[in-house]
Structure 1
Amino acid sequence: MRVAFLNSIEKDIYGGMEEWIRLAALALASKGHEVTLIGRKDSYFLQRAGEPFENINTFPLNIGGDFNPATIKQIKKFLDENQIDVITVNFNKDVRLGGLAARFNGTTKVIWSVGLNITKDKMIHKLLTPKLVDHVIVPSQSLKNEITELGYISKEITTVIPICIEDIELPEKAESRKKVISMYNLPEDSILSVTSGRLVEQKGHDFLIEAAPDIVKEYPQLRFLFLGDGQREYMYHAMITERRLEKHFVFCGMLDDVETHLSAADIMIHPSRVEPFGIAILEGMRAGLPVIASHVGGIPEVVKDGFNAKLIEAENVKQLSETVNLLLKDRNSLGQMAQNSRERFESEFSLEKMSGKLENVYCSVSSVNV
């Protein structure tokens, strides 16, 4: 089967959906299918998701605006020449660019991978989307309920496939801790908390900053590591300075070696406002981290409250600080939850579990037998 993934994300951005595409491409390619990633020329998405792997290719494209005829023509030509069975689209614009190209092609089927509820109560969406999409994949039941609420996306063509990630060999914890403490010149007795994700409103870093004074009052050795970059970085620096918390926060930026930071950490805090799933949480579970996270979206489908995580009400700063303090106080529970995180990852979220489910959907939609 020949599969393409179209993603028009801007050149310098790489987020959760881009990582899902990388993982899905890897899963299908490992099953012997030919995969091509279509994205903007010189984009971080193509550089990172398209890293050399057998059966995965990239197709750099000058992607124009919505309904851009030149872009649609280029995509159609690619589908024709490469006999693509299924094209997977991401953003609403991608649905129209890739969907129209596939319809003009006449044989290529269209799967919409939805990582966030971007359905809209507008006539253009209600009329066009059902005509351009053959199937929809979402990572959680929560998101399926959201995107089918308006009625123009049918539940019958929407499949829930939880995101899974590779089980890689992680760096040794003591060595990772030593490296991270040296890298950021942190005290030797630091307790390391990680919050992984782009610095955008959705991820709720501001709630952690607001909660921090009550946390560091109890645990002055705590250091909060923000893994990722984004448009709110300046705002967060200002909030931290205003509260005189500079020594407690580290902005690590976009990392190629996120595993070392996760391996070094003692706890993961994920205070999202909105979260359809949470790949960053999976990465924390793979590293054996206990998790404190908001009870929103698909997060309750990823972690198990009281087993490997503590779930809190979103945007509740007081509950966040109290939960962090209570968990750090109970070192036995912290250690058990760390062990449980790794156990839950291995049993529920290794990449092999996702591979078979994806292959079944793609083959069913394309009518290709494997």
Structure 2
Amino acid sequence: MIRVAYILTPITFGGSEKVSLNFLRHVNRERYEIFPILLVRPWENDPYFACELRRCGYHFERVPVAVRRDADPFRVPRVAGRIFALLRGGSFHLVHTHGYFADICGLPAARLLGIPGISTCHGYISNGGNLKLYNMLDKIVLRLCTRIMAVSEGIRGDLMISGLDGGRIDVVHNAAGSTLKEEDFHRLRLEKRSSLSIGADEFVAGFAGRLSQEKGARYLIEAASEMKHHGKRYKLLIMGDGPERECLSSMVKKAGLDRDVLFTGFLENSEEWLPALDIFVLPSLTEGTPMALLEAMAMGIPVIASAVGGVPDVIEDGINGFLVPPGESRAIHERIMLLIDKPDQMKRLSRAGKETVNSRYNVRDWCRRIEQMYDSLAEGGYRGMHA
């Protein structure tokens, strides 16, 4: 039995949390004993991620990231000290971290105790002074870990530009799958649309993700505002919440799209809402290998996405989806209109997208690659992974 300390900060339920939950649900628990260590805000209720861990039968440790809501200058050494104590008393073979804060607090502790460390790097968001500092610190402490898993070739390149040894970095794209039967997909489609007062025959484009600047939801709203010049209307469903919510709502009102654009707010399981869509749009300015994109493709929902990060690794333009330049709302609008006018092309993209995920981004093979890495590191050596 290989015992792994699995450290992350599940403040929201975004891409890295979905990736982690995907792995924890499918890992071989007869061979790997995973002990999640969750870095949480003590004044908040348990995040959705923690509730899902309980449903899966995991025991986990909650480590407060701060003792008060305002600035806490000692939070990094405090959290790092707590992780060090947990690792020292846990007889762990490996430490696996996700995200900059887990890296900064967990990897030095693992190194001091002589435990091999693995970090999954989902990419960096550079807006905000503190975030830039944490990103810089992260790229320093990543030198302490044994292996790095980058979720796209672009992230691997970024890490190498920062001076990290490319020989220690493996590209392991995220994975997804859908267990929905066709009848369940159509049932959810009708249920979710009905709950939002959307007609069964209305055309719906949508986005799922955090409403923050780098996710580019504003460009999707700008694309929707082009409808009045085209003569054909569609609904736009924006699933998620975040710091841009108020600004995006103002954009909708100014454009006179109140009846066309719907905000759901935060959804614990946005995957269950994807069947409400005819098209999934990812207008991001930066990405790793986005989970929401893979989830939509796995369900057979045609996708339009910005050509950023690991997205072009997944989508071949016009074959299994459409790529658009980042920040180009007109290009998004044109692709949406094209698919409205050409239902046969929608069907082709649907089939091709589903086949792409099933053949290249399936959960079974992805889990096996990570398990191979665990085996090699626990045995004291690493020769690289084989697909």
- The question of whether the paired residues in 2 share the 8 Å contact of 1:5 and 1:36 is answered with yes
Partner of 2:106: 98
Distance in structure 2 (CA, Å) of the matches to 1:100 and 1:206: 39
Corresponding residue SS for 2:118:
strand
Partner of 2:21: 22
What is the aligned-residue RMSD (CA, Å)?
A: 2.6
> What is the CA deviation profile of residues 253-308 of structure 1, one whole-angstrom value per residue up to 9, with x for unaligned ones?
22244344212321111111111111000110111011111111100112222112
Partner of 2:123: 116
Q: Paired residue for 2:248, among 230, 236, 254?
A: 236
Q: CA deviation at 1:49?
A: 4.9
Partner of 1:193: 205
- The question of whether the paired residues in 2 share the 8 Å contact of 1:278 and 1:302 is answered with no
Partner of 1:57: 59
Q: Paired residue for 1:347, among 351, 354, 359?
A: 359
Corresponding residue SS for 2:210:
coil
Distance in structure 2 (CA, Å) of the matches to 1:282 and 1:138: 17
CA shift in 2, pair 1:45/1:35, >3 Å: farther
Indicate the larger mover: 233-242 or 211-220. 211-220
Corresponding residue SS for 1:172:
helix
Aligned residues: 364
Distance in structure 2 (CA, Å) of the matches to 1:2 and 1:219: 60
Corresponding residue SS for 2:59:
strand
Corresponding residue SS for 2:331:
helix
Q: Paired residue for 2:162, among 150, 157, 162?
A: 150
Q: CA deviation at 1:90?
A: 2.7
**Residue identity opposite 2:123 in structure 1:** L
Distance in structure 2 (CA, Å) of the matches to 1:288 and 1:197: 19
Identity within the alignment, %: 22
- The question of whether the paired residues in 1 share the 8 Å contact of 2:139 and 2:162 is answered with no
| 1:159 equivalenced with 2:170 (yes/no) | yes
Distance in structure 2 (CA, Å) of the matches to 1:188 and 1:46: 32
Distance in structure 2 (CA, Å) of the matches to 1:34 and 1:176: 35
Q: Paired residue for 2:114, among 107, 110, 114?
A: 107
Partner of 2:344: 332
**Residue identity opposite 1:70 in structure 2:** R
> What is the CA deviation profile of residues 176-216 of structure 1, one whole-angstrom value per residue up to 9, with x for unaligned ones?
23212221112343101121111111111000111112235
Q: CA deviation at 1:84?
A: 1.3
Q: CA deviation at 1:6?
A: 1.4
| 1:6 equivalenced with 2:36 (yes/no) | no
Corresponding residue SS for 2:89:
helix
> What is the CA deviation profile of residues 12-50 of structure 1, one whole-angstrom value per residue up to 9, with x for unaligned ones?
x22111111222333434463111211125441542452
**Residue identity opposite 1:154 in structure 2:** D
What's the TM-score once normalised by structure 1's chain length?
A: 0.90
Indicate the larger mover: 106-115 or 185-194. 185-194
- The question of whether the paired residues in 1 share the 8 Å contact of 2:188 and 2:276 is answered with yes
Q: CA deviation at 1:122?
A: 9.9
CA shift in 2, pair 1:248/1:31, >3 Å: farther
CA shift in 2, pair 1:48/1:348, >3 Å: farther
Distance in structure 1 (CA, Å) of the matches to 2:35 and 2:105: 16
- The question of whether the paired residues in 2 share the 8 Å contact of 1:67 and 1:97 is answered with no
Q: Which runs of 5+ in 2 are unaligned?
A: 67-72, 127-131, 382-387
CA shift in 2, pair 1:6/1:264, >3 Å: same
CA shift in 2, pair 1:118/1:112, >3 Å: farther
Q: Paired residue for 1:314, among 320, 326, 336?
A: 326
What's the TM-score once normalised by structure 2's chain length?
A: 0.86
Distance in structure 1 (CA, Å) of the matches to 2:283 and 2:50: 29
**Residue identity opposite 1:98 in structure 2:** G
